[in-house]
């Protein structure tokens, strides 16, 4: 566990049923961190995410730059942080800022509709996202697809080219 991060998931639905009822409790997280530019600025979305967060788990809803700054400052070192990036580009922003990421779980990436590579039935990546994932993979970040914590983990390194 580096910088307090115990898991990084990309999920365009952010903090929803499976994440709130399965992933976070099974991970033992003490904090859920939603990383998304738009959500961090929207009071209604932040309130909805707070209601979805499991009882006893702290919640941060931050833009990628603030999330990176907080992580790098050591703010969460004593916590167990489950990071949920709405988009691959936000995980890539953390990576580029110098946040140590051991693994990224692609859980639900369905916003892309055209010119995509399907890595799984719930994960479709654009050419730009594929390049971001390749760069992170080549730097030693393990890239996996796993919808639920009880599903087998599937590495997607070879599918990225």
Indicate the burial class of 9 (C-beta count within 10 angstroms; 0-12, 13-18, 19 or more). buried
The pLDDT score that the predictor gives to residue 135 is 97
Q: Which residues of the chain have pLDDT under 50?
A: none
Question: Where do we find the tokens 């080219």?
Answer: 161
Q: For the stretch 66-97, what's the b/e string if a residue is b when 16 or more beta carbons lie within 10 angstroms of its beta carbon?
A: ebbebbeeeebeebbbbbbbbbbbbbbbbbee
The pLDDT score that the predictor gives to residue 121 is 86
The pLDDT score that the predictor gives to residue 157 is 72
The pLDDT score that the predictor gives to residue 80 is 98
* Helix (H) or strand (E) segment spanning residue 82: strand 81-85
CATH architecture of 5-159: 3-Layer(aba) Sandwich (3.40)
Pairing, β 5-11 against β 103-108: parallel
Q: What pTM was estimated for this model as a whole?
A: 0.94
* Helix (H) or strand (E) segment spanning residue 52: helix 43-52
The pLDDT score that the predictor gives to residue 112 is 66
The pLDDT score that the predictor gives to residue 1 is 58
């Amino acid at each position: 566990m580096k910088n307090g991060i115990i898991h990084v998931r990309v999920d365009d639905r952010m903090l929803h049923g499976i994440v709130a009822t399965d992933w976070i409790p099974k991970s033992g997280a003490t904090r859920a961190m939603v990383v998304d530019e738009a959500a961090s600025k929207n009071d209604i979305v932040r309130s909805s995410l707070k209601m979805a967060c499991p009882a006893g788990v702290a919640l941060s809803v931050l833009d990628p730059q603030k999330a990176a700054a907080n992580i790098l400052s050591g703010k969460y070192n004593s916590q167990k942080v489950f990071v949920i990036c709405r988009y691959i580009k936000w995980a890539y922003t953390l990576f580029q800022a110098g946040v140590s990421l051991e693994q990224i779980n692609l859980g639900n990436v369905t916003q892309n509709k055209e010119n995509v590579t399907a890595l799984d039935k719930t994960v479709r990546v654009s050419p730009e996202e594929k390049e971001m994932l390749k760069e992170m993979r080549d730097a030693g970040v393990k890239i996996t697809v796993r919808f639920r914590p009880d599903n087998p983990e599937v590495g997607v390194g070879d599918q990225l080219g």
